[in-house]
């Protein structure tokens, strides 16, 4: 893994608008990483201590439903994955699987959360962006549930 500089982060959609100072803080906790197609990036139930921002490639956000993998959302370049770390030190709520080769930036979430607690302006920006990501996942889950319910009602009719 190779460190990422603040300038590279500034070009990523998720980090647009962060101050140069905050980008430098965030960059200290980052590394480059690659995944092959079908690699598990995160697994539901794992320790929530990291997150990624996708540089290239596509990633499936999935959940376990009755022992089956269910696609919740598909994400790509510039999009983040794995924000359970920001809200608790518990476990990941979703699985993320590479659909094709993926280049990403890895972040030490628990260390970055400590930095956010010390610098409230940085913490606010991260909270605002992670909350938006969580809202998008919730909307994707709502669509999935509505579709699943509609299919179940059609079958029972």
Q: What is the mean pLDDT of residues 135-143?
A: 83
Beta carbons of 99 and 56 less than 8 angstroms apart = no
Q: For 2-44, how does the pLDDT look when each residue is reduced to its tens digit (9 = 90+)?
A: 679 999 999 999 999 999 999 999 999 999 999 999 999 999 9
Instruction: Tell me what pLDDT residue 143 has.
Output: 85
pLDDT at 108: 93
Domains of the chain are 33-156 (2.60.120.10)
The pLDDT-based confidence of 84 (bands split at 50, 70, 90) is: confident
What is residue 20's predicted lDDT score, i.e. its pLDDT? Answer: 96
pLDDT of residue 149: 75
Dmax over CA atoms of the chain, in Å, equals 59
pLDDT at 144 (0 to 100):
77
Query: Where residue 89 falls among pLDDT bands split at 50, 70, 90?
Result: low
pLDDT reported for residue 22 = 96
- CB–CB of 67/56 below 8 Å? no
In the predicted model, what is the mean pLDDT of the chain?
A: 90
- Taking the C-alpha atoms of residue 40 and residue 38, their distance in angstroms, rounded to an integer, is 6
């Amino acid at each position: 893994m190779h460190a990422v500089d603040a300038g590279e982060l500034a070009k990523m959609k998720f980090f647009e608008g962060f101050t140069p100072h905050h980008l430098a803080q965030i960059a200290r906790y980052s590394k480059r990483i690659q995944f092959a197609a079908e690699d598990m990036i995160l697994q539901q139930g794992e320790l929530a201590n990291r997150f990624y921002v996708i540089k290239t490639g596509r990633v499936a956000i999935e959940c376990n439903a009755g022992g089956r993998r269910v696609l919740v959302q598909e994400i790509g370049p510039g999009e983040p994955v794995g924000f359970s770390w920001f809200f608790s030190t518990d476990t990941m709520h979703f699985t993320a699987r590479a659909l094709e080769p993926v280049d990403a930036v890895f972040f030490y979430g628990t260390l970055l959360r400590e930095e956010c607690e010390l610098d409230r302006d940085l913490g606010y920006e991260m909270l605002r962006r992670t909350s938006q990501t969580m809202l998008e996942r919730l909307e994707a889950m709502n669509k999935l549930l509505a579709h699943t319910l509609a299919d179940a009602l059609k079958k029972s009719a």
